[in-house]
Amino acid sequence: MATGSEGLPLPEIFVVSAAELAAVLQNALGGPHMVQIEGEGARRLRAIEPLDRAGPQAISFLANPRYRSLLAATRAGAVILAPAARDALPAGCTALLTADPYHAFARLTQWWAARTRPAPAPGVHPTAVVDPTARLGVGVSIGALAVIEAGAEIGANAVIGAQCHIGRQARIGARTRLAPQVVVGFDCVIGADGLLHSGVVIGADGFGLAPTKQGYVKIEQLGAVRIGDAVEIGANTCIDRGALGDTVIGDGVKLDNLIQIAHNVQLGEHTAMAGCSAIAGSTVVGARCTIGGGAGVLGHLRIADDVHVSAQSTVSRSLDTPGQYTGFFPLDDNRSWEKNAVTLRQLHRLRERVRALEARLGEPASDPSPTVSATPTAPPAAPDAS
């Protein structure tokens, strides 16, 4: 099987000139942003392609200065880039100059998608099962074999994909789109302009258990999930309903695939989490944070605004200060790792040996008792309310 990936061609009917695209981007970016064109405005463009694989009928972009070296050799017909990089562009390549080329590229992909993808047909598919007490806004599209339970409310122009399940009294905001096979539990609320991918489960029970001598007794999860506007949620991600109050996801939050958000978590506005990360119960995460892929944040913590957690790291204490935090074991060849791992389990002893050597040599005390503790983790079934 060939492994090349060639970018996306535009159907012939949508082929545009560089000048037309510049106008499209200017309009999409809005007032304060300027898009200036330099070079041949009449050049015909029919594909978006990466710099190193673009042909003369493709438009490409340079956002990350790290890739600036690719500019000189590109065969792209047009490139979106910042004015500072303009000089590196080959002769004959049309430049679309703008202060934030990555933002402009994002708008270009949106324009492209709108032209190449059919819009879902409004209306209720005849095989959908819609309770007569559900309320559907104007322009709503309900896919094949979807189920809308009693009292649910679907906002104007929202799209409910095939085979979705919307629980009773749940509310979906205007223009929000659900891919096929999304589950939204009863009483849960999703804002406007959202996008939920297949396999997402909103409002399953949080993991609340009271340990007794006869085993665990279930704590019914009486809260729900409230999700703000412009939230995107990746495939197979789960957001649990709260134990008493709600689990709350702020406006503009972006979640990747296979993420776990436990009960009563609060995520601040415009926080983004990469795939396979997780937030344990009752933790409050600030605004504009990024949580790397596979990272885990333990329960009952507070994470400040603008905290960035590296991939695969474990957050076991509250973080009051913005910044980048990291904690994963550095990879090594297996043999070296084994040697270092064994030694690591004796690290405390090694420090005492160094201290003994220092004492023997009359070194001044350079090793006060550590004051920062690596907080141990709570057992997983710990009480999560009060």
- Annotated catalytic residues are 263
Q: Does 153 bind a copy of itself (CB under 8 A)?
A: no
Tally Cβ neighbours within 10 Å of residue 301: 18
Residue ranges in 190-249 that form contacts with a copy of itself under rule CB under 8 A: 191, 195, 197-199, 201, 204-205, 207-210, 212, 215-223, 226, 228-230, 232, 234-236, 238, 240, 242-246, 248
CA distance 193 to 173: 7
CA distance 159 to 85: 41
| Of residues 140 and 219, the one with the C-beta less far from a copy of itself | 219
Residue with tokens 């790397």: 292
Tokens representing 72 are 């000189």
End-to-end CA distance of the chain: 57
| Of residues 94 and 191, the one with the C-beta less far from a copy of itself | 191
Phi-psi region at 181: left, alpha or beta (left = phi > 0; alpha = psi -120 to 50): left
Q: Does 1 bind a copy of itself (CB under 8 A)?
A: yes
Dihedral, CA of residue 171, residue 177, residue 180 and residue 182, to nearest 10: -40
Q: Does 175 bind a copy of itself (CB under 8 A)?
A: no
Q: Which of 168, 302, 306, 318 binds a copy of itself (CB under 8 A)?
A: 168
Q: Does 273 bind a copy of itself (CB under 8 A)?
A: yes
Q: Does 304 bind a copy of itself (CB under 8 A)?
A: no
CA distance 82 to 94: 13
Residue ranges in 50-69 that form contacts with a copy of itself under rule CB under 8 A: 50-53, 60-64, 67
| One-letter amino acid of 359 | A
Q: Does 102 bind a copy of itself (CB under 8 A)?
A: yes
Q: Does 77 bind a copy of itself (CB under 8 A)?
A: no
Contact between 70 and 90 (Cβ < 8 Å): no
Residue ranges in 250-269 that form contacts with a copy of itself under rule CB under 8 A: 250-252, 254, 256-258, 260, 262, 264, 266, 269
Least distance CB 318 / a copy of itself (angstroms) = 11
| Of residues 43 and 203, the one with the C-beta less far from a copy of itself | 203
